[in-house]
Amino acid sequence: MAQGHMIPMVDLAQLIAERGVLVTVITTPVNAKRFETTIDMLDRSGLPIRFVALPFPCKEVGLPEGCENVDLIPSAHLAVNFFKATSLLSGPVETYLREHKHYPSCIISDSCHPWTWDVARNLQIPRFTFFGICCFTLLCTHNIDSHNVFDTITSEREPFLVPGLRDRIEVTQAQAPGFFPGDVWAKLREEIKAADEAAAGVVVNSFQELEPWYLESYQKVMGNKVWTLGPFWLRNKDASLMGARGKDAAIDENSCMTWLDSMKPSSVVYVSFGSLTFTSPSQLMEVGLGLEASEQPFIWVVKEVELCPEMSEWLAEGFEERVRDKGLIIRGWAPQVMILSHPAIGGFVTHCGWNSSLEAISMGLPLITWPHFADQFLNERFLVDVLRTGVPVGVEDPAAWGEDNSHVHVTRDGVEKAVRSLMDGGEEGTERRERARQASVKARKAMEQDGSSYDNMTLFIQQFTQPAVKTATLSA
Ligand code: UDP
């Protein structure tokens, strides 16, 4: 239960419901509240979709009340308790589904919820595992693990080539440690592996034309059908109406659009590092100063948790005034896809979360890649080495989730240089922009009627529906 997992799940639920299949989205009260605007809109739309909020057992595992999303975990050591609480949902989910008037045909659940395999087995229905990551990153992670690469290196900062790939992809163990690394996660890792191997298929938020070789190769190693059904979010025909996505925006959407309307086409850089990274005040100030020095208009998202008194003062006392004509600062949750879909946006400084990456790909935007942790360094390699729409900012060390990240990874000069290079109108920049444009055309085609993701969805639904009963359950 994290924004980057739930947002695509809710999009997926809508995509399935649009095909006439009854979908139940199982979540928890705090998360349902975040999606209230979407839920209200869906209620009015008449789509066969409903949200069920089951109580989350915080108290039972020593979590503070209401700690129902990864971004609410107060300290990294409590992450294990969070996953324990999540697995305790298996009883209530099974009871709910048994008592449900429409017995479900299948469960589609995030790979991080291996316990849903037990529920599916008990109900004797298939479970599909969902990954909010591309096939490239899934294959790289699989190959690094299956070739025991970490046994062959002397330090976690020693670069190595990912084995068994078509392209030359170089990373370090620190950058690509695999999912849930370390002893404390060994049990969960094993459970996820077993549940994914046993799954009836794998659902990925990607599309065939984006990464055909990686999709085919990943399918081979999984020995299982991999369903590319995305980009899910493109089901929303009008991105400019998508203010509240995952949470209500912290800025008035109309004034944000009016500000963008006043800018030249493809001139504004959008800067956001997703929902889970935490950037220290000293690093944030370097970002701000680098943007200012680049002389490029920008929208910069600073999260609520990053707005300590020192940062708030720095923004308010001088910086914001100096950049008033060029910069818009969003304090809190941004209406990201609404912003990215505006013609004034010309580039995206991203942490390389897969959703943000795919949103940029669908919009035909070149990127500055600034990975922090998890799958992000591998996603960066995909954007820079395979798709060639990304300009690396040059970070080599992860800024791990929940750890002290007070040192500066990238200076203002580094930020300025990357922004100038991204927005450069020269030959290299123009070619990069053209590659990004072509990828976005393919993304849109994939989701249109008779496109690859559209057709895959038809086949996917045929997998689990019978003529009489058409219901699916998503655990988000
Ligand atoms: N997002 C948003 N507003 C924000 C920050 C993020 O709408 O201020 C959305 C973004 O569009 C994406 C998701 O939240 O769909 C973040 O997912 P991603 O995989 O990019 O990063 P994560 O947050 O999982 O690291």
pLDDT in tens, 45-76: 999 999 999 999 999 999 999 999 999 999 99
User: 3-class DSSP state for residue 178?
Assistant: coil
Is 367 close to ligand 1, i.e. is its CB under 6 Å away?
Answer: no
Give the CA angle between residues 43, 47, 53 to the nearest 5°: 55
Average confidence (pLDDT) over 221-245: 85
Indicate yes or no: pTM above 0.80. Answer: yes
Is the pLDDT confidence value at 402 over 90?
no
Report the residue count for the chain.
476
Question: Tokens 């609410």 belong to which residue?
Answer: 72
Mean pLDDT, residues 406-432 taken together: 93
Burial of 195 (0-12, 13-18, 19+ CB in 10 A): buried
pLDDT score for 353: 98
- For residue 354, CA distances in Å to 72, 369, 373 come to 21, 12, 12
Q: What's the pLDDT at 100? A: 82
Cβ–ligand 1 contact at 337 (below 6 Å): yes
pLDDT > 70: percent of the chain: 97
How much of the chain exceeds pLDDT 90, in percent?
Answer: 89
In the β-sheet with 49-53, what is the strand arrangement from edge to edge? 49-53, 22-27, 471-475, 107-110, 127-131, 201-204, 226-228
Q: Which of 31, 336, 362, 363 to probe ligand 1 with, by most ligand atoms within 8 A of CB?
A: 336
Q: Look at the domain 3-235+447-475 and name its fold.
A: Rossmann fold (3.40.50)
Q: Is the pLDDT of residue 273 over 70?
A: yes
pLDDT band (50, 70, 90) for residue 239:
low
Contact 207, 452 (CB under 8 A): yes
Domain with CATH 3.40.50.2000 in the chain: 3-235+447-475, 250-441
Q: Is the pLDDT of residue 253 over 60?
A: yes
CATH of 250-441, one of 3.90.110.10, 3.40.50.300, 3.40.50.2000, 3.30.390.30: 3.40.50.2000
Q: Which two tokens stand for residue 53?
A: 């909020």
Please give the angle made by the CA atoms of 401, 405 and 406, to the nearest 5 degrees.
155
**Which amino acid does the sequence have at 77?**
H
Strand partners, 348: 270, 367
Atom of ligand 1 nearest to the CA of 277: 25
What is the ipTM, given to two decimal places?
A: 0.99
* Residue type, position 472, single letter: A
Candidates 258, 201, 214, 231; CA nearest to 362 is: 231
CB of 69 within 6 A of ligand 1: the answer is no
Sheet holding 268-272, edge to edge: 327-331, 298-302, 268-272, 345-350, 367-369, 390-392
Ligand 1: centre distance to CA 337 (Å):
9
pLDDT tier, 468 (very low <50, low <70, confident <90, very high otherwise): very low
pLDDT in tens, 349-373: 999 999 999 999 999 999 999 999 9
Q: What per-residue confidence (pLDDT) applies to 464?
A: 82
Q: Calculate mean pLDDT across residues 449-471.
A: 84
What does pLDDT average to over the chain?
94
Q: Ligand 1 in contact with 372 (CB < 6 A)?
A: no
* Per-residue pLDDT tens digits for 99-114: 987 889 999 999 999 9
pLDDT at position 467, please?
A: 52
